[in-house]
Amino acid sequence: MIEENKEPTPLTAIGEFGLIETLTKNIELRNKSSVLGIGDDAAIIAASKLQRVVSTDMLIEGVHFDLLYTPLKHLGYKAVVVNLSDIYAMNAIPKQITVSIAVSNRMSIEALEEIYSGIYLACEIYNVDLVGGDTTSSLSGLVISVTAIGEAEEKKIVRRSGAKENDLICVTGDLGAAYMGLQILEREKAVFKDHNSIQPDFSGKDYILERQLKPEARKEIIEFLAEQKIMPTSMIDVSDGLSSELIHLAKSSGVGIQIYEEKLPIDVCTVTTADELQIDATIAALNGGEDYELLFTIPLEFHNQVKHKLGITIIGHVTDKSAGYHMVAKGSESMIPLTAQGWNHGA
Ligand code: ADP
Ligand code: MG
Q: Is there an atom of ligand 1 within 6 Å of 133 CB?
A: yes
Distance CA 166, CA 168 (A): 6
Q: Is there an atom of ligand 1 within 6 Å of 111 CB?
A: no
CATH 3.30.1330.10 positions along the chain are 11-156
Ligand 1 pocket test target in 14, 20, 107, 119 with most atoms within 8 Å of CB = 20
The pLDDT-based confidence of 6 (bands split at 50, 70, 90) is: confident
Q: Is there an atom of ligand 1 within 6 Å of 143 CB?
A: no
The pLDDT-based confidence of 346 (bands split at 50, 70, 90) is: very low
- CA separation, residue 142 to residues 63, 107, 189, 215, 242 (Å): 10, 9, 20, 20, 29
Quick one: which ligand is closest to 39's CA?
Answer: 1
Query: Does 193 have pLDDT greater than 70?
Result: yes
The pLDDT-based confidence of 347 (bands split at 50, 70, 90) is: very low
186-195, 228-237, 259-268: segment of lowest average pLDDT: 186-195
Quick one: which ligand is closest to 38's CA?
Answer: 1
Tens digit of each residue's pLDDT (9 = 90 or more) over 294-318: 999 999 999 999 998 999 999 999 9
Beta bridge partners of 313: 171
Whole-number pLDDT of residue 345? 44
The CATH class of the 11-156 domain is: alpha beta
Distance CA 160, CA 292 (A): 16
CATH 3.90.650.10 positions along the chain are 168-337
46 Ramachandran zone, left/alpha/beta (phi>0; psi -120 to 50): beta
Find, among 108, 148, 144, 113, the residue nearest to 128 by Cα.
Answer: 148
Q: Is there an atom of ligand 1 within 6 Å of 123 CB?
A: no
Query: Does 192 have pLDDT greater than 90?
Result: no
- R_g over Cα of the chain: 21
Quote the ligand 2 centre to 133 CA distance (angstroms): 7
Whole-number pLDDT of residue 88? 98
Contact 241, 283 (CB under 8 A): no
SS3 101: strand
Q: Which atom of ligand 1 is nearest to the CA of 43?
A: 14
Quote the ligand 1 centre to 131 CA distance (angstroms): 9
Task: Give, as one character, the DSSP assignment of residue 245.
Answer: H
Contact 232, 91 (CB under 8 A): yes
Question: Which of 3.90.650.10, 1.25.40.10, 3.40.50.720, 3.90.180.10 would CATH assign to domain 168-337?
Answer: 3.90.650.10
Tens digit of each residue's pLDDT (9 = 90 or more) over 46-80: 999 999 999 999 999 999 999 999 999 999 999 99
